[in-house]
């Protein structure tokens, strides 16, 4: 997928609304598209991951793990919203599990790419 297409997808998210088109295109150059099947785990509570994601399509269930290998639902996230920002910012392990509900497409922003955006374009920060 080319940068213009990624920019169009990012521009549709709530975060994309906060940036100019030029800024969206800069950010889009650092995003990757990931697809998840129904029930597939995006990340698990306690994982140390370094990315956040923007939901392009589908829904994502956020849940806390129970003591008996069960998950207690917290919320279902919808297209245009984001997930994973807490661990992305504070560097702590994931506080909940994220699982695809149906087919899900996410735009992924890694911490390394986020730092590159800020280094190359400090005004975006």
- Domain positions in the chain: 3-124
Q: Are strands 97-110 and 82-83 parallel, antiparallel or unpaired?
A: unpaired
* 110 pLDDT above the threshold of 90: yes
Q: Which two tokens stand for residue 84?
A: 């994973």
Enter the pTM of the model: 0.90
3-state secondary structure of 78: coil
**Helix residue spans in the chain (DSSP H):** 3-11, 21-28, 85-90, 111-120
3-state secondary structure of 5: helix
**In CATH terms, is domain 3-124 a member of 2.60.120.380?**
no
pLDDT digits (tens, 9 = 90+) for 15-48: 888 899 999 999 999 999 999 999 999 999 999 8
Q: How many helices (H) and strands (E) does the chain have?
A: 4, 6
d(CA 86, CA 125): 17
pLDDT digits (tens, 9 = 90+) for 55-103: 999 999 999 987 777 888 899 999 999 999 888 888 889 999 999 999 9
- The answer to whether 42 and 53 have CB atoms below 8 angstroms apart is yes
């Amino acid at each position: 997928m080319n940068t213009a297409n990624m920019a169009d997808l990012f521009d549709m998210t709530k975060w994309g609304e906060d940036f100019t088109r030029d800024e969206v295109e800069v950010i889009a150059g650092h995003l990757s598209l990931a697809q998840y099947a129904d029930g597939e785990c995006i990340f698990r509570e306690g994982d140390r991951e370094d990315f956040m994601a923007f939901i392009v399509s589908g829904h994502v269930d956020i849940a806390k793990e129970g003591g008996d290998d069960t998950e207690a639902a917290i919320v279902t996230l919808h297209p245009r919203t984001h997930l994973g920002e807490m661990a992305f910012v504070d560097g702590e392990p994931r506080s909940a599990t994220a699982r695809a509900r149906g087919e899900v497409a996410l735009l992924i922003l890694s911490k390394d790419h986020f730092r590159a955006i800020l280094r190359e374009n400090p005004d975006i920060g």
